[in-house]
Structure 1
Amino acid sequence: MDQLCTLCFRNFGVRREAELVAGGPVSSPCPNCKMIGGGFLDRGVCEQLLRRFFVEGSIPPEAGGHAPVYEFNPHHLHGEVLFATELDSDLELLSRFLSVGLFHYGPPLWRFGHTDHYSALKGNMEDGTATQGEARKAIWEEVIARCSIKTLEPGMSIFRVRRGQQLPPAIPAEFDTPPPGLASEGRYDTAERPVFYGAEDVETCLHESRVTLSDYIALATFTPTRPLRLLDLADNIDDSSARTPFEQVDVFMTRLAYAGKQDYDLCRELAAEIEERGFDGFLFISYFAQAHRQKLRNIALHGRPVQSGKLQLLSVNRIRLAETNYKYSFGPHNDTSLPIEPTAIEELSARMAAGTISSQEVSAEFERLLNRRSEGPR
């Protein structure tokens, strides 16, 4: 066979992804499925389909980067990865057509954000492998030194959203950092070290506030009353001295931006280190930037900048959601592979930082974790 068509596939997601990359409909019977009218798929397009669905579609949501569970190449055979569903026949068709095999891929730990800085700072707090004392301060000093500095000048706009069952009064205090007793702890803030979260654009505010159609949404527009000195954790990080991705601060910052609550301790520690160095705040990547065409950025200001006079309220508007859209792609659902516990990855990272395991041993252990199987669909 020198071609397939979109009608060759049984799985709905595979067929839909195939339709996105296929050529025009074939007028003669497909040499594989013998049907007419499906979209034309040559070898190059089928390789693209295999990568889109099985490789890119396997990236776990906590990865925060390109860390697929599966890869394929000519050195592996079909049958190493099984799904116990109709996906198996689709995968076999693509594998035999392209003479490749899908296999469990153990991506390097840096793709999950486990860089040298992260491993040294996080370590394993329970057994003391995390760097402490002056050495820990030195790590934060190196991280901060690689970041650039940005100044927010008077006249620049800072947006902040509040949502709820009714609109708040259009007064400055209603849009400041919550007062003591009402403040909650988030990614970078604690009750003792409150943080004002804003953004450079309205859409970032809406994403971060997780607004819904049933919400009243109020948007406050502020401007600085004086130049505000911010550390930029999102752009222009100087990684020229990094020899490998494990040494890149940019990768470390992406990890902190996209990680879950298990890394809030490091985020808050970083915010404290920035504040102690006299910065008014910092810029950081929005969690939603990983699924957006633009690099969404948040503005974090220490304390209560409205109350302290650093920000002036310009206006308050109501926001009405006029349209919502989701752009998505399909990937494989595999009930025969047991999920990897995040703690297992963290333990590997800590052992690597402590020098008790080599990079080759890490790869072997990671592959073992990926190959943990159930007896069938769970």
Structure 2
Amino acid sequence: MNPEFEAKLCSECFHDQGLRLDAALGGFDDPAECPNCHKAEGKKLDLPHIEELAHRFFVRGTVFRTDYGGAPLVQFNQHQETSIDLTPQLAEDVKLFEKTLGIGFFYYGPRLWMVGEVTPLNELLDEATRAAVIQRVVTEYPAVPFKTADVLYRIRLAPQEPGAHHEYDSPPDQFLGQGRLDSSDLPILYGSQDIEVCVHECRTTVDDEAYLATLKPTRDLRLLDLSALLDEDATEFESLDMALHMLFLAARHAYPITREIAKAAKAQGFDGVIYPSYFSFARTGAMPFETVYGISIRRIKELRAHAMSHVVPNIGLFGRPIGDGLLRVDCLNKIILNRVVYDLRFGPVLGQSPFLQDLGEEYPDL
């Protein structure tokens, strides 16, 4: 153990079961008695780990998602007293945080860009202004090569002929128009360079007959990289980067817009697009739409690499690239889900926050 480690609390100090379990996940083994509860069996926590636990449970654990974007309901600092509604068990636990860290917990009122009030996003939602923003997208996002040495993975569930290469091409016409990018007149082959993301994207279960195709381009392909982080001189409210980031991390209600972006990219001569996986946060464990003092980490130069590490890119190739000879099947394998592990964290059960009440009144569509 780090010689500078000084235990202040342990997992057994807490009454709330979720908080106790979360503390045990992040604590250290130490046979000594806890200086607070005097039990020896709990996982020990020093000040940095107690603060990290408070953030995980009360901030990360209260993140709510709107149609586009999201924000935590609770924050804490050393300048405010606790003012959130708590269960009796959790109220006792909060006293430990107050005493140990000198902090208070309060309902957070996030800046409105965090819940989707971003001008280019609103313009994408409006059919009258959508085309102009899409033109910006295909112009301002970078073109990147997908080279013949690069690898793309694609999963198929229960193909009729698992060994037939055509089974791993874009879906037949009768299945078009159901995905994030494909339309009735634009087939898309979806894949990723991250096999676990492929498993998530296909909603694979232990009962599925799943097969993995390893695909390689037969020539260098030109892709529009919508997963890139744009270098902009703009606030989050004006940011095209933030608009696209929120758009691709939204659910099915965003599909009509993302399909139009795909069509525009094809019209500009691209072979396909790179875009953020909807499961990026679940794959990386990152906090959605993370901020520092209310500023998106995507806008802070020193944190750009950290922000990009939160995004897992998918690839969508236009048409039927296997049938058209743009991709070759390099290898086929059956997939077995041998073991599934969930990385669980916890959060509090709270009453309705004042911010959510105000948000529902002012923005009923959110």
TM-score band (shorter)?
0.7 to 0.9
Letter paired with 2:236 = P
Rounded to whole Å, the distance in 1 between the matches of 2:68 and 2:334 is 33
Q: Deviations over 1:93-124 (max 9, x none)?
A: 322443322111122233345422102222xx
Quick one: structure 1 residues 345 and 175, their matched pair in 2 at CA, closer, same or farther if it must change by over 3 Å? farther
Question: Which among 119, 124, 130 is matched to residue 122 of structure 2?
Answer: 119
Quick one: structure 1 residues 231 and 29, their matched pair in 2 at CA, closer, same or farther if it must change by over 3 Å? closer
Mapping for residues 231-246 of structure 1, pairs under 5 Å? 231-235=224-228, 237-239=229-231, 241-246=232-237
Q: Which residue of 1 aligns with 2:21?
A: 16
What secondary structure sits across from 2:223 in the alignment?
Answer: strand
| Rg (Cα) greater in structure | 1
Letter paired with 1:177 = S
Rounded to whole Å, the distance in 1 between the matches of 2:40 and 2:334 is 53
Letter paired with 1:246 = F
- Conserved? CA contact 2:34–2:42, under 8 Å: no
- Conserved? CA contact 1:113–1:251, under 8 Å: no
- Conserved? CA contact 1:112–1:255, under 8 Å: no
Rounded to whole Å, the distance in 2 between the matches of 1:64 and 1:39 is 38
Question: Which among 138, 148, 157 is matched to residue 154 of structure 1?
Answer: 148
Quick one: structure 1 residues 335 and 238, their matched pair in 2 at CA, closer, same or farther if it must change by over 3 Å? closer
Q: How many Å apart are 1:65 and its aligned residue?
A: 7.1
TM-score, normalised with respect to structure 1: 0.77
Q: How many Å apart are 1:283 and its aligned residue?
A: 0.5
Q: How many Å apart are 1:9 and its aligned residue?
A: 1.0
Large movers: runs of 4+ above 6 Å: 63-66
- Conserved? CA contact 1:176–1:306, under 8 Å: yes
Rounded to whole Å, the distance in 1 between the matches of 2:35 and 2:59 is 26
Q: How many Å apart are 1:229 and its aligned residue?
A: 1.2
Quick one: structure 1 residues 51 and 203, their matched pair in 2 at CA, closer, same or farther if it must change by over 3 Å? closer
Quick one: structure 1 residues 346 and 271, their matched pair in 2 at CA, closer, same or farther if it must change by over 3 Å? farther
Rounded to whole Å, the distance in 1 between the matches of 2:119 and 2:280 is 24
Is there any run of 5+ residues in structure 2 with no aligned partner, and where?
1-6, 285-308
Rounded to whole Å, the distance in 2 between the matches of 1:149 and 1:137 is 20
Q: How many Å apart are 1:196 and its aligned residue?
A: 1.4
Rounded to whole Å, the distance in 2 between the matches of 1:296 and 1:286 is 6
Q: How many Å apart are 1:36 and its aligned residue?
A: 4.9
Q: How many Å apart are 1:171 and its aligned residue?
A: 1.8
Letter paired with 2:13 = C
Q: Which residue of 1 aligns with 2:53?
A: 49
Q: How many Å apart are 1:42 and its aligned residue?
A: 4.8
Quick one: structure 1 residues 182 and 44, their matched pair in 2 at CA, closer, same or farther if it must change by over 3 Å? closer
- Conserved? CA contact 1:119–1:349, under 8 Å: no
What secondary structure sits across from 1:162 in the alignment?
Answer: strand
Q: Which residue of 1 aligns with 2:315?
A: 299
What secondary structure sits across from 1:219 in the alignment?
Answer: strand
Q: Which residue of 2 aligns with 1:220?
A: 213
In angstroms, what is the RMSD of aligned CA positions? 3.2
Rounded to whole Å, the distance in 1 between the matches of 2:80 and 2:144 is 49
Q: Which residue of 1 aligns with 2:287?
A: none
Q: Deviations over 1:327-373 (max 9, x none)?
A: 222221235559959x94994899xxxxxxxxxxxxxxxxxxxxxxx
Question: Which among 248, 257, 267 is matched to residue 248 of structure 2?
Answer: 257
Q: Deviations over 1:112-149 (max 9, x none)?
A: 45422102222xxxxxxx362xx543322222322111
Q: Which residue of 1 aligns with 2:181?
A: 188
Letter paired with 2:222 = R
Is there any run of 5+ residues in structure 1 with no aligned partner, and where?
123-129, 351-378
Q: How many Å apart are 1:321 and its aligned residue?
A: 2.2
TM-score, normalised with respect to structure 2: 0.79
Q: How many Å apart are 1:155 and its aligned residue?
A: 4.0
Question: Which among 321, 324, 333 is matched to residue 308 of structure 1?
Answer: 324
Q: Which residue of 1 aligns with 2:305?
A: none
